[in-house]
C-alpha cells in the first residue's frame, strides 16, 4: 500500500475516534436544582425549581418547562437562568420536571428535576352494592411521585387476607396512579366485607377502604313481597274481626221492627174482659 494512503487512513481513523469526545465537549451544560421531596413539614411552603445554562457553543433561542412530558404553559423565556415556582405544593404537584433549552443550530438540551411525594389517594368507591352472581369492580386512584406499588387485601377485624390474581375470581389491574380490583361471580357468604387498596412508594404509603355488600337473588322482589305481606295481614285482621263480632250487633230480619208488647199489658186486658162478662 502507498505510504500516503496509509497515513491518510490513520488520520481518518484518529478523527473518528475523537468524534465522541469532541461531541461531548460541545454539549451544553446545565446546572439544575437537586430533587425535592414534598412532605407534611414542607406543606404550604413554596418550592422553586431552577436551571442555569452555563455552557453552550451556539447561542440558545429560548427555554421552557415541562412536567411529566407535557409543556407547562407560560414558562417560556429567553434567559439562560430559568426558574419554575410551585406556590402551594401538594402531592399532585409531584412528578418529573424538565427545563428545556432550544438552539437555532443545535439540538435541544434539557435537565430533569424530580419532585417526590408520598401517594395520596384522591378517588375510590366508598361502597359497592351488588347481587350474588354478579361482578363487582372496585378502584383507587392517587397522586404522588414516584408512581406507587399497589396492593389489595380484605380486612376482617384485626386480621386481613392479601388478594392476588391466583384465585380465578379476583383480578387486579395496575396502571401508574390507578388500580382496579374485579371480583367475578359474587358469593353472598364469602365476598361481602371491607376491601383495602394500599399505595406505596419510596416516600411513604397510604390506604383507603371500600365496603362491598352482596344481596340475595330475592332482593329485587323484596318491595313486592313487603306489599303482599301487608295485604295478607290486613285481610286476616278483617276476617278475625267479623268472626268475633257480637250477635246482638246483628239485626234479625224475621223480627218485627216496632215496639214489643209486655206481658203485664196483656194480663190487664184479660182482666177487663172477665169483669164485663160477670155483669
Q: Tell me: do 92 and 166 sit in the same domain.
A: no
Predicted confidence at residue 2, as pLDDT, reads: 52
In a domain, 12, yes or no: no
Q: Are residues 98 and 35 in the same domain?
A: yes
Give domain status of residue 82, yes or no.
yes
pLDDT (tens digit per residue) in 36-72:
999 877 667 899 999 999 998 888 899 999 999 999 9
CA-to-CA distance for 175 and 193, rounded, in angstroms?
Answer: 25
pLDDT at position 16: 45
Instruction: Give me the residues paired with residue 187 across strands.
Output: none
- Alpha-carbon distances, residue 165 vs 63, 96, 160, 183, 184 (angstroms): 47, 31, 17, 10, 12
Q: Residue 1: pLDDT band by 50, 70, 90 thresholds?
A: low
- Is 168 found in the same domain as 87? no
103 & 156 share domain: no
Please check whether residue 66 lies inside any domain of the structure. yes
Per the structure, the count of domains in the chain is: 2
Are both 151 and 172 inside the same structural domain? yes
221 or 171: which leads in pLDDT: 171
List strand residue ranges (DSSP E) for 164-253, in order.
170-175, 178-183, 193-200, 205-215
Residues 97 and 40 in one domain: yes
Residues 94 and 63 both lie in one domain: yes
The pLDDT of residue 113? 97
The answer to whether residue 241 is domain-embedded is no
**Residue that terminates a domain, selected from 215, 230, 259:** 215
Model confidence pLDDT, tens digit, residues 9-23: 543 454 444 334 435
pLDDT of residue 22: 38
| 182, 209: one domain | yes
Give the CATH number of the domain where residue 198 resides. Answer: 2.60.40.10
Query: What does the block give as the cell for 170?
Result: 379476583
Residues 207-240 pLDDT 10s: 999 999 999 877 666 676 778 788 888 888 888 8
Same domain, 53 and 134: no
Q: What are phi and psi of 229, to 5 degrees?
A: -65, -40
For 72, the grid coordinates are: 407547562
Which residues form the domain of 41? 29-117
> With 60 as the cut, is the pLDDT of residue 7 above it?
no
What predicted TM-score, i.e. pTM, was given to this entire model?
Answer: 0.67
Is 266 a member of any domain? no
pLDDT of residue 110: 96
33-37, 102-106, 150-154, 273-277, range with the lowest pLDDT: 273-277
Among 148, 67, 71, CA closest to 140: 148
Q: Is residue 167 part of a domain?
A: yes
Q: What pLDDT shows up at residue 244?
A: 78
| 102 and 136 fall within a common domain | no
Is 20 domain-assigned? no
| % of the chain exceeding 90 in pLDDT | 61
How many whole angstroms separate alpha carbon 82 and alpha carbon 113? 13
E strand or H helix at 122, and its extent? strand 109-124
In the sheet with 205-215, reading across from the earlier edge strand, the strands are 127-131, 205-215, 193-200, 149-156, 159-163
- Asked whether residue 5 is assigned to any structural domain, the reply reads no
pLDDT at 130: 95
Please identify, among 191, 215, 239, the residue that sits at the C-terminal boundary of a domain: 215
Query: What are the distances in angstroms from CA 197 to CA 34, 174, 180, 222?
Result: 32, 11, 9, 33
Identify whether residues 60 and 134 lie together within a single domain: no
Element (H, E) at 30: strand 29-32
pLDDT, position 27: 84
pLDDT score of 241 more than 70 = yes
Structural domain ending residue among the three candidates 182, 199, 215:
215
Query: Residue 173: its pLDDT value, please?
Result: 97
Amino acid at each position: 500500500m502507498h505510504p500516503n494512503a496509509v497515513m491518510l487512513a490513520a488520520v481518518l481513523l484518529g478523527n473518528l475516534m475523537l468524534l465522541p469526545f469532541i461531541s461531548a465537549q460541545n454539549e451544553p451544560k446545565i446546572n439544575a436544582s437537586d430533587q425535592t421531596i414534598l412532605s407534611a413539614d414542607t406543606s404550604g411552603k413554596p418550592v422553586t425549581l431552577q436551571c442555569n445554562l452555563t455552557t453552550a457553543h451556539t447561542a440558545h433561542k429560548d427555554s421552557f418547562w415541562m412536567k411529566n412530558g407535557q409543556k407547562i404553559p407560560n414558562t417560556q423565556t429567553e434567559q439562560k437562568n430559568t426558574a419554575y415556582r410551585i406556590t402551594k405544593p401538594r402531592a399532585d404537584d409531584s412528578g418529573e420536571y424538565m427545563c428545556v433549552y432550544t438552539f437555532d443550530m443545535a439540538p435541544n438540551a434539557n435537565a430533569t428535576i424530580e419532585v417526590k411525594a408520598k401517594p395520596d389517594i384522591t378517588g375510590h368507591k366508598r361502597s359497592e352494592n351488588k347481587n350474588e352472581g354478579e361482578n363487582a369492580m372496585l378502584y383507587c386512584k392517587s397522586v404522588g411521585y414516584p408512581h406507587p406499588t399497589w396492593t389489595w387485601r380484605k380486612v376482617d377485624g384485626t386480621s386481613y387476607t392479601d388478594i392476588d390474581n391466583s384465585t380465578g375470581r379476583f383480578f387486579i389491574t395496575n396502571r401508574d396512579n390507578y388500580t382496579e380490583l374485579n371480583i367475578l361471580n359474587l358469593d353472598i357468604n364469602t365476598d361481602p366485607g371491607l376491601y383495602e387498596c394500599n399505595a406505596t412508594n419510596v416516600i411513604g404509603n397510604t390506604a383507603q377502604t371500600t365496603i362491598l355488600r352482596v344481596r340475595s337473588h330475592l332482593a329485587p322482589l323484596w318491595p313486592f313481597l313487603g306489599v303482599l305481606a301487608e295485604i295478607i295481614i290486613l285481610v286476616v285482621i278483617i276476617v278475625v274481626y267479623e268472626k268475633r263480632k257480637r250477635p246482638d250487633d246483628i239485626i234479625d230480619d224475621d223480627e218485627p221492627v216496632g215496639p214489643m208488647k209486655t206481658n203485664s199489658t196483656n194480663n190487664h186486658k184479660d182482666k177487663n174482659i172477665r169483669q164485663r162478662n160477670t155483669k
